[in-house]
Structure 1
Amino acid sequence: MSMNLPTSEEWTQRCANDGEFMLAARNWDGGIALSVGETRLKVGVAGGKPGAGEVTNNLISFSGEEAVWEKVLAQVPDRFHNDLMANISHDL
């Protein structure tokens, strides 16, 4: 199994180009980090702008093995893998 993941820089650019993300992040200082197996991706947000500084506070972080992320990101996710909070609450 090998997932095709963006780099942190590519993910940051995708967030900057996503109108819905920009609206949600408009007043936010913090960041999002995903750990997929040994790979760690991070987007910092400062003043609502992705990539505008290093994340020191307000970091939202999710981690899991690659096999779990493949289920979460599947076209049609398995039960309890369609939502990260459902996944967490069922210890998946």
Structure 2
Amino acid sequence: MKYIRQIHLDSPGTRSEHISRVNHSDTPTGSLSESSRTKIVQQITAGTETYCSHSTNGAQAAVVVRTSGLGIKYITTVSDGRETNNLLSLPQY
């Protein structure tokens, strides 16, 4: 299981499709490791459960793989109507 806790956005940096790298851990509070979006997409596709984990508010949501209109695979959270638990609400680095 992976917990994504920080994101890096490429310009223009306004949508989930712009997430290029993430810092994640094996527990909600463990030490961080960096992975590319491609690597995380591969792991989720292979069956690794992955969650967005916000350390300041405790919010979590499942992360899934989607495909953009241009055919690019990206990661996003399962929509549940809460803004506080989505990937774009995580700290950026």
Q: Which structure has greater strand proportion?
A: 2
The answer, yes or no, to whether TM exceeds 0.5 is: no
Rg larger in 1 or in 2? Answer: 1
TM-score range, shorter chain: under 0.3
Q: Which structure has greater helix proportion?
A: 1
In the superposition, the TM-score normalised over structure 2's length comes to 0.28
Larger RCO (CA within 8 A; separation ≥ 6): 2
